[in-house]
Structure 1
């Protein structure tokens, strides 16, 4: 049962005050201006501040690139081709840094990570036909993860459509729905058939980039149109938008609810800009704090009030807390509570209600539709700041005997293959604690070990994709992250992912200091372990063992192979000091069970509930 603060007629539990049920978002609320996933042409234009128009007399390709520069784009990632050549040339001759990738999906994954690192929109470009379809997986990851990415592609010129042109890209050969139109993949998509469309395209892109959360757009430009003349002008769009917030009355009601007794805070990736405020809230109230896998580090994991991460490879300490000290309310900040965050485990439901804060009004109540949920559409930072004003200034004593996340430390080394737990302990010491590098964990056992064993005290040091969860995301995304932060970024990946979609060559070409730590166990080990746990045996998941150091060196990078645990420290230190892209190839003991039990239990429950 969900209580929606933003609508006056939403049902609510009778135990909640009437003012909560009738509370409405203030008129400054962005929800009135930027309805999530809505057609952004309906946005109120008076809330966008225009500036002096910019007269353009140039090719459409040049005009599009100038528009992107004005919108703050610094990077364009993609793969070239004849159909995109005019636009590609204009990008190369602009202030935008163009990075030429080896695969379009890798370019899109890298764009997602570059956006989160730089907080700027990033361009992805491809050629026609297969260039577009290759990019789709990475673009879906951008959409699911909430990145801001603008996709540029060519389409077949009007005079050649239906004639089987090479790599023809038209309604004759490709589906239009969701690829060339606004839908499940793109928040905004259009085909530019004339330079006269540019003012409207600029307006809609600008409004989309100003909205909170992600925005993925597709601008398809026929090859002939790219070189046509654009004589037009448009008003520059101010990309600064007001924050979503709720009334003081609503905040006061929330403050009263959490003051009635024990409550917990559940932190997600959407709260990454509110780390300071969340810590102050926790220390003021004494609340227990847990985080989603994507939210690691927003609240310091070494803080005495932190009880662990939830969901996939989460900590049993969280479930112990919920079972032994179940809170009256749980304040959910910036997480959808999706499958890999919650597994929809009923044990995570508080005794009275969730107070769920999110900028997307569709999120609260979705994961737990039968649980009492007070839905609050707001920017997390603005809400927590306002909430703090309604709470006592003096800190409340922390809840006693809060359980702590498990931490397994090995005091001696094995002489055989490397245990992943020992490797993770070394990564913690040398990379997490010993540097400021960003760490990205690949889907699979790499993510399981990273989420379970690595501990972060600062936000935005750890990245995983728990929505789309595509293999190859971290392998290629690390290149975009390292470029955008102009410093080290480290990907923890499996050998399967490293063989699937690698951009080591791209990092070499542009001197990007990415590091790959490959868990080389000669198999798709999460599939191997997971299917065995489900009762399916003798499946072929083996991979011939590769030598990733030789592969890296063959492309101009450097690397080192680790076959015993005593070699880990020196190898990681060498990787972090390397001025060139570096691969650490670790021969992993495949018999060590990764902490994926909760995921497998959830899959088994799905099989029995059909």
Structure 2
């Protein structure tokens, strides 16, 4: 094992400058803590607050409504948290999630864990029981008597920063810590719990003034020179992940100047155009066989890894993805390089991907590098013609989504975990990363069923979620979309079962398991909540249904009756499970 962690230099000139920068000493009118917290959040750039109300959070909820922050009342706290994640990525601003005590907090935790995994900036504001009532079985009591404090109310694996505000005097320091976290590159998920009586207490006649400024981690000149030397030895490949989304222009320039083959993680589809002659394919879950052909036939000496953890659904830790010599792994998190393939030589670079690529480009001048490109394997797309009879095949549906939605609109497309995710990754093609969102880390069902609202709202445009019937039944905010007339589209792959589970169990050798679901009519459900919808039962009906959905001004459901016998391209995932012992063979 030879993992080399390189010293880095942080650009500190724009870092937050402690108390002087954060706090304004000029007297102001008196505020309640709830009002002060909301004002601070607005100063931090928050535009949206999503949540579910309750008695204990009433003062904060009321203060949000009196502010410039747009408040959306959701039907479930997890849905609010998923929407907040996607609103952050669509706007590049922190988003607030608010809940009441007890189950309000625990309901939100799945979405907040997803926010941590996804690298979003989310501030969770919850209520807790006032100190005089603790230990007395207050309604939905939230205290050390009734709920574990470690992890939920303290900084750790769920929250980068968490605290309970027990006095208004603590507010300046709490605001400073949240501002520092938001000013760092990457994700930041904070939890501010405020007892009900503290929310209505007064603050001192001065409020924290928040100044946010980000400083990007930067590799040293010595590190850059070492990378140039290694990459100049012979041909190399570039493996990009979601963390490289801000450096699309520089990555393309680097690839074209060097002739490098480019592959991407499922979350990074579109960062490098998928129709580019140097694009080899998507790796991992739902990925392309062309990637393996490339690694077998033209295995590069080095692979430059940009902004991906190379986790299971990106690499499956497959030995075929190992370069002949080493990985050069760039990430803002110094703990990431070397973790996926610990036995492989890794040159670790702690840097922002965009800053690193700009520095690297100085050593690779533009000399029409496209002429150096060797013939690279490409993923093939088979032409599939619609049939008049039978249920809808998923690959036919995806081909039509490509034509009607991806190529003829500017809608953002996102897809749930499950077979819908595999089909979309494998068959849809994007030329820009802002058009596609998936979750292959935490991978919670319901993430994009509800997250689609946050994307459409924050991007002020159309957003389309491709989901399974199981996810749509598990977590739905159609009613919320109707309430605020958010122009979202749900395309439901309705096959009456958790089909990834059913197909996966068969692949793993397990029999006589039941993954079926009583088939629902999602159009009738949507219409019952005030949305529009259309049911698709044959392949000839797909195009007209999608065109109607994309033209709709409000929320719209396309309920597609899917042929469940079509096997999704999830073999890599199933093989990974077998290698981990999850098999009956």
Shorter-normalised TM-score: what interval?
over 0.9
Shift in alpha-carbon separation, 1:367–1:27, aligned structure 2, 3 A: closer
Q: CA contact under 8 A between 1:417 and 1:589: conserved in structure 2?
A: yes
TM-score (norm 1): 0.93
Residue 143 (str. 1) matches residue 116 (str. 2): yes
Root-mean-square deviation (CA), in Å? 1.7
- Displacement of 1:185: 0.2
Matched, 1:28 2:1: no
Q: Is the 8 A contact 1:560 1:583 kept in 2?
A: yes
Residue equivalent to 1:85:
58
Structure 1 residue corresponding to 2:435, chosen from 461, 469, 473: 461
Q: Deviations over 1:83-111 (max 9, x none)?
A: 10011000011000000000000000000
Equivalent position SS for 1:180:
coil
Where does residue 252 of structure 1 map in the other structure?
A: 225
* Equivalent position of 1:433 in the other structure: 407
Partner in structure 1 of residue 176 of structure 2: 203
SS in structure 2 opposite 1:492?
strand
Q: Are 1:324 and 2:297 matched, yes or no?
A: yes
Task: Report the CA distance shift for 1:160/1:50 in structure 2 as closer, same or farther (over 3 A).
Answer: closer
**C-alpha distance in 1, partners of 2:582/2:372?**
41
- Of 552, 576, 584, the residue aligned with 1:602 is 576
Partner of 2:314: 341
Q: Please name the residue that 1:117 is paired with.
A: 90
Q: Per the alignment, in what secondary structure is the counterpart of residue 396 of structure 2? A: helix
User: Given the two structures, how large is their TM-score scaled by the length of structure 2?
Assistant: 0.97
Q: 1:608 to 1:87 in 2, by over 3 A?
A: closer
Match of 1:510 among 458, 471, 484: 484
Cα distance change, pair 98–44 in 1 and its aligned pair in 2 (3 A): closer
Residue number in structure 2 paired with 1:376? 349
Work out whether 1:185 is the aligned partner of 2:158: yes
Give the structure 2 partner of residue 311 of structure 1. 284
Would the aligned equivalents of 1:315 and 1:452 in 2 still touch at CA under 8 Å?
Answer: yes
2:456 touches 2:488 (CA, 8 Å); kept in 1?
Answer: yes
Equivalent residue runs for 1:9-408 within 5 Å: 24-26=7-9, 28=11, 45=17, 49-50=21-22, 52-53=24-25, 55-56=27-28, 57-396=30-369, 397-408=371-382
Whether the aligned pair in 2 keeps the contact of 1:195 and 1:232 (CA below 8 Å) is: no
1:589 aligns with 2:563: yes
Q: Residues 241 and 306 of structure 2 are in contact (CA less than 8 Å); yes or no, is this contact kept in structure 1?
A: yes
Structure 1 equivalent of residue 532 of structure 2: 558
The offset of 1:199, in angstroms, is: 0.5
Check whether the contact 2:74–2:480 (CA below 8 A) recurs between aligned residues: yes
Task: Tell me if 1:481 matches 2:481.
Answer: no
Whole-angstrom distance in 2 between the partners of 1:133 and 1:175 = 11
- Cα separation, 1, equivalents of 2:206 and 2:225: 48
Residues 52 and 98 in structure 2, CA contact (< 8 A), matched pair in contact too: yes
TM-superposed CA distance for 1:46, in Å, is 5.6
How much does 1:393 deviate? 2.7
Q: Name the CA shift for 1:220/1:55 in 2 (closer, same or farther; >3 Å).
A: farther
Distance 2:97 2:576 in 1: 36
Instruction: Note if contact 1:417-1:565 (Cα within 8 Å) is conserved in structure 2.
Output: yes
SS of 1:460 mapped into structure 2: helix
Give me the whole-angstrom Cα distance separating, in 2, the residues matched to 1:466 and 1:503. Answer: 22
Gaps of 5+ in 2: none
Q: State the secondary structure of the residue aligned to 1:467.
A: coil
- Which has the larger displacement, 230-239 or 154-163? 230-239
In structure 2, the CA distance between the partners of 1:521 and 1:511, relative to structure 1 (3 Å rule), is same
Corresponding position of 1:17: none
Partner of 1:496: 470
Does residue 507 of structure 2 align to residue 533 of structure 1?
yes
Q: Displacement, 1:127?
A: 0.7
The Cα shift of 1:29 comes to 6.2
Cα gap change, 1:180/1:54 in structure 2, threshold over 3 Å: closer, same or farther?
Answer: farther
Change (3 A) 1:411 1:218: same
Quick check: 153-162 or 458-467, which moved more?
458-467
Please state whether the residue corresponding to 1:233 is helix, strand or coil: coil
Report the Cα offset of residue 234 of structure 1: 4.8
How far did 1:400 drift?
1.9
The DSSP-based 3-state class of the residue aligned with 1:300 is: coil
Distance 1:151 1:294 in 2: 25
What is the rounded CA distance, in whole Å, between the counterparts of 1:203 and 1:475 in structure 2? 34
Contact 1:2 1:364 in 2 (8 A): no
CA distance in structure 2 between the partners assigned to 1:435 and 1:2 by the alignment: 48
Q: 1:608 to 1:567 in 2, by over 3 A?
A: closer
Q: CA deviation at 1:238?
A: 2.3
Q: CA, structure 1 residues 367+47, in 2 after alignment: closer, same or farther (shift >3 Å)?
A: farther
The number of residues matched between the two structures is 582
Q: Show structure 1 runs of 5+ residues with no match.
A: 7-23, 34-42
Q: 1:47 to 1:91 in 2, by over 3 A?
A: closer
Residues 534-592 of structure 1 deviation map (CA, whole Å, 9 limit, x = unaligned) = 00011111011110000000000000000000010010000000011000000000000
1:423 aligns with 2:397: yes
Distance (Å, rounded) in 1 between the aligned partners of 2:167 and 2:479 = 37
**Deviation of residue 395 (structure 1)?**
2.8
The runs of 4+ residues in structure 1 deviating greater than 3 Å are 1-6, 43-56
Please state how far the C-alpha of 1:461 moved relative to its aligned partner: 1.0
Counterpart CA distance in 2 for 1:408 and 1:599 is: 23
Distance 1:439 1:374, change over 3 A: same
State the alpha-carbon separation in 1 of the partners of residues 321 and 207 from structure 2: 51
